[in-house]
Amino acid sequence: MKLFCKTGCVLWDSASKWPRRTYQSDSCTVFAYHENKPKHTMTISLLILTHNRPNELLKCLNSLKSEQGNLLEILILDNGSQVKLQASALSEFTKLKIFHSEKNLGVAGGRNWLAQRAKGELLWFLDDDASLRTNQACELIRSYFKKTQLALVSFKILNAYSREEEKRCIPHVDKHLTQVDVAAAYFVGCSFVTRRQLFLETGGFWENFEYSCEELDLSYRLLNQNYEILRSHSLQVVHAYSPTSARHQSWIYFNTRNRPWTAIRNLPLKYIPSYILGWWIYAGAIGFKQSEFKLFYQAVTASLKGFFSAVKTRSVISPPACEKVRRLGGRLWY
CATH of the domain at 126: 3.90.550.10
Q: 185 and 78, same structural domain?
A: yes
Q: 266 and 222, same structural domain?
A: no
With CA atoms as reference, report the closest residue to 86 among 71, 70, 69, 98: 98
Q: 249 and 234, same structural domain?
A: no
Is residue 25 a part of any domain in this protein?
yes
User: 288 is in which domain, residue-wise?
Assistant: 244-316
Q: What is the pLDDT of residue 45?
A: 99
Q: What is the pLDDT of residue 33?
A: 45
Is residue 332 a part of any domain in this protein?
no
Q: Write the CA distances from 6 to 15, 276, 313, integer angstroms.
A: 21, 84, 73
Domain count, the chain: 3
Q: 220 and 250, same structural domain?
A: no
Domain end call among 223, 239, 255:
239
DSSP 165: B
Q: What is the pLDDT of residue 17?
A: 46
> CA 116 to CA 123: how far, in whole Å?
10
Q: What is the pLDDT of residue 247?
A: 59
Domain end call among 215, 239, 263:
239
Q: What is the pLDDT of residue 87?
A: 72
Q: What is the pLDDT of residue 27?
A: 52
Is residue 323 a part of any domain in this protein?
no
Q: What is the pLDDT of residue 243?
A: 55
Helix H or strand E segment including 45: strand 44-50
Q: What is the pLDDT of residue 90?
A: 82
Q: 152 and 10, same structural domain?
A: no
Q: 276 and 179, same structural domain?
A: no
Is residue 324 a part of any domain in this protein?
no
Is residue 48 a part of any domain in this protein?
yes
With CA atoms as reference, report the closest residue to 104 among 47, 58, 51: 51
Q: What are phi and psi of 232, to 5 degrees?
A: -80, 140
Q: 300 and 218, same structural domain?
A: no
Is residue 39 a part of any domain in this protein?
no
Q: 233 and 127, same structural domain?
A: yes
pTM confidence score: 0.86
Give the residues of the chain that fall short of pLDDT 50: 1-4, 6, 11-12, 17-23, 25, 30-34, 245
Q: 222 and 170, same structural domain?
A: yes
> CA 213 to CA 211: how far, in whole Å?
7
Q: What is the pLDDT of residue 19?
A: 47
Domain end call among 239, 254, 278:
239
Strands (E), 120-219: 122-127, 130-132, 150-159, 182-184, 191-195
Q: 158 and 59, same structural domain?
A: yes
Is residue 69 a part of any domain in this protein?
yes
Q: 206 and 62, same structural domain?
A: yes
Q: 284 and 253, same structural domain?
A: yes
Is residue 63 a part of any domain in this protein?
yes
